[in-house]
Amino acid sequence: MRAISIIFKRELGRYVRSPIGWIIAALALLVEGILFQALALPGDNLSAIVLERFFYWAQGIPLFCGVLLAFRLLAEERQNHSIILLKTSPVRDSEIVLGKFFAALTFLAIILALSIYMPLLIKVNGHITGAQIFVGYIGLLLEGAAVLAIGIFASALTSNQIVAALLGTVFVAVLMLLFLLAKRLEAPVQGAIEQLDLWWLHYQTGFMRGAINLKDVIYYLAMTYFFLLLAVKTLEAKRWQ
Amino acid sequence: MIRANKLSKFYGGKRALGPVSFEISDGETVGFLGLNGAGKTTALRILACDLRPSSGTIEIGGVDAVADPHEVRKRVGFLPENPPLYTEMAVVDYLKFAGELRGMTAAQVKKRLPEVLEIVDLGDVQNDTIDTLSHGYRQRVGVAQAIIHEPKLVILDEPTRGLDPVQIVEMRNLIHDLKQNHTVLISSHILTEISQTCDRLLVLNKGSLVGEGTETELSKEGEIRQITVTVRAPSGDDPKAQIVKILSGVTGVSKVGDAYEQGGGWSFALSTQTDCRAAVSRAVVDAKLDLLKLDYARSELENTFIRLVQGGADASN
């Protein structure tokens, strides 16, 4: 736990101090603000519908930032050889991965928190509850956690940061588009594939509409755990190679 | 301190090391000597618990490094070939991070930091970010991270690589300082560096241990002496062959090397098991040839190294 905290502090400090972290945040918030203004607000819609549209477009933040924040976490360390400091210290591979994951998740949470003025505007001018906003953000954070875990796994696979970014993007894109594949299949395979989709079933039919379903929470936690575990096992395996 | 038994490492199907067995006592400074690709870095990375061996056992300070690498890492400081630096960090912040990673408390790091900065002479740049430092300073930061937690064993992989001559001397002095309080392992393919800093050598070639001992012990094994003799060329057909015939007949000369022209004569390198300069000079004079020069070189580390490496190559072929 102590090692996780030490690595967490260094990584978070890196995000906060480096311009790259803030450039990613600024770009994500700019695009989100434009989409909110251009696509969520227009029309005489109920405030609940406007909020739903906001959360639809807000998914771009965890999906876009998640991959960008995660791809360098292990690949860069390997490329710069600094990972040897971590690997020759009395620190477990799981602690390395968790320290980095929680730092990225915290920075992602900061970016998400900076977007809260938009749903607050809807609340001030409409009839939505704080709980609806809260649930939407929980969904975004859980989705972000899963995307970060996928990105860290991609980062563990290679020392080339560009390859890691591409792999992370491909993994996330495939998991996002599984619902399209599911539509072409028949039950029971269709149901199984649908349940694996990262984007549509677990977020858009639940959190985005202000509803917390236990199965959606479990899905995102399981995806996060699974990909973090793969990242840890990949690091361990590289010691044997 | 270290007991390695039949240690080997394969990368895929390719053998990088072993099986090798060796022991290193507390307080020794041992050099891993070998050409590029000899297996030095692999051996050191296994000792630093960065890599796991494919087979064999290794004990460091009585702890099994394969079964309990976590415990061993607390006792080891490692400077790899490329120092593991976070270049965006200031030197002190980086060393605090490295110390805490190695299990030190913030108070322990605070107390130890001035000592380390003094040992590696980084006081002037302690608040600079690492990416602004020269290669020599970065190497010192690398050494500092390896000793911040006062490990019993310090492993330095090619510590003078890329340093200029002044920095090499400084690094050598630093290693001499480290010898006072640590068991030190150094790898290098630079013979002078190894011979000047280490008590004992392990010579690796193509993953195998081909020699072990002090410089003197290694030199004594099948000692080679070299005599260089320069003789004025005689008249007649093929003067070189004439001289080779005379020198080959001298008792004690095991091999007459290739000749080259020098100072109006022919120079020959003779390999001998004994000091047979007198016999060589008599043979030349008796043949009514002019002896221009006679040099004698006792086996040096370089000769020993070449012999061991060539022997290893022969053995592996």
Which has more confidence, A241 or B112?
B112
Q: Looking at residue B122, what is its pLDDT?
A: 86
Min Cα–Cα distance to chain B from A4, Å: 9
Which residue, chain included where needed, has tokens 């000047």?
B196
Position A200, amino acid:
W
Q: What is the mean pLDDT of residues A36-52?
A: 80
Instruction: Out of A14, A85, A241, name the one closest to residue B98 (CB).
Output: A85
Distances (CA, A) of B64 to A95, A164, A207, B70: 22, 35, 50, 10
| B143 C-beta neighbours (distance < 10 Å), count | 23
Which has more confidence, B160 or A158?
A158
Its ipTM equals: 0.85
H or E segment to which residue B20 belongs: strand B14-24
Which residues are CB-contacts of A23 (< 8 A; sequence separation ≥ 6)? none
Which residues are CB-contacts of B106 (< 8 A; sequence separation ≥ 6)? B96, B100
Q: Is B10 on the interface with A (CB under 8 A)?
A: no
Distances (CA, A) of A140 to A175, A238, B96, B105, B304: 16, 33, 35, 37, 67
| Cβ separation A84–B12 shorter than 8 A | no
The answer to whether A208 touches A52, Cβ cutoff 8 Å, is yes
Q: Mean pLDDT over all residues of chain A?
A: 90
H or E segment to which residue B174 belongs: helix B165-181
Query: Apex CA B47: angle with CA B78 and CA B120, to 5°?
Result: 20
Mutating which of B68, B101, B153 best tests the A interface, going by the most A Cβ atoms within 10 A?
Answer: B101
Q: Which residues of A touch B100 (CB under 8 A)?
A: 6
pLDDT class of A190 with cuts at 50, 70, 90: confident
Min Cα–Cα distance to chain B from A95, Å: 11
Residue A227: closest CA among A151, A150, A147, A143: A150
Q: What is the mean pLDDT of residues A141-163?
A: 95
Q: Looking at residue B317, what is its pLDDT?
A: 39
3-class secondary structure per residue, A103-122? HHHHHHHHHHHHCCHHHHHH
Q: Looking at residue B207, what is its pLDDT?
A: 86
| B111 C-beta neighbours (distance < 10 Å), count | 11
pLDDT tens, N- to C-terminus, chain B (317 residues): 899 999 999 988 888 897 999 999 988 899 998 888 888 899 999 999 999 999 999 999 889 988 898 899 999 999 998 999 999 999 999 999 999 999 999 999 999 999 999 888 888 898 999 999 998 899 999 999 999 999 999 999 988 887 888 888 888 888 888 888 889 999 987 776 777 788 888 888 888 888 888 777 776 655 556 788 888 877 777 778 888 888 888 888 888 887 887 767 888 888 877 778 888 999 989 988 888 888 876 555 666 777 677 665 444 43
Instruction: Out of A6, A239, A241, name the one closest to residue B100 (CB).
Output: A6
The answer to whether A57 touches A39, Cβ cutoff 8 Å, is yes
Q: Pull the structure tokens for residue B42.
A: 């692999």
Q: Is B66 on the interface with A (CB under 8 A)?
A: no
Enumerate the β-bridge partners of residue B10: B15
Instruction: Out of B51, B74, B100, name the one closest to residue A239 (CB).
Output: B51
Position A203, amino acid:
Y
CB < 8 Å & 24+ apart, contacts of B304-309: B304/B211, B304/B215, B304/B218, B304/B219, B304/B221, B304/B224, B305/B33, B305/B191, B305/B203, B307/B222, B307/B224, B308/B203, B308/B205, B308/B210, B308/B211, B308/B218, B309/B34, B309/B35, B309/B203, B309/B205, B309/B210
Q: Looking at residue B274, what is its pLDDT?
A: 74
- As a whole-number percent, the residues of chain A with pLDDT over 90 amount to 54
Residue B41: closest CA among B95, B74, B80: B80
Mutating which of A89, A236, A241 best tests the B interface, going by the most B Cβ atoms within 10 A?
Answer: A89
Q: How much helix, strand and coil, in percent to the nearest 5, is found in chain A?
A: 85, 0, 15
Q: Is B232 on the interface with A (CB under 8 A)?
A: no
d(CA B3, CA B311): 25
Q: Is B49 on the interface with A (CB under 8 A)?
A: yes
- As a whole-number percent, the residues of chain A with pLDDT over 70 amount to 100
Q: Looking at residue B224, what is its pLDDT?
A: 58
Q: Looking at residue B175, what is its pLDDT?
A: 87
Give the N- to C-terminal CA distance of chain B in Å, as an integer. 34
Min Cα–Cα distance to chain B from A29, Å: 26
DSSP state of B129: B
Q: Looking at residue B234, what is its pLDDT?
A: 77
Out of A43-47, A57-61, A216-220, the most confident range is: A216-220
Q: Scan residues 34-93 of A and list those with Cβ closer than 8 Å to B.
A: 80-92
Mutating which of A88, A93, A94, A240 best tests the B interface, going by the most B Cβ atoms within 10 A?
Answer: A88
Beta strands in B25-101 (DSSP E): 29-34, 55-60, 63-64, 76-79
Residue B185: closest CA among B31, B3, B27, B7: B31
| pTM to 2 decimal places | 0.80
Q: Is B85 on the interface with A (CB under 8 A)?
A: yes
Report the sign of the C-alpha dihedral through residues B35, B41, B42, B44, in that order.
positive
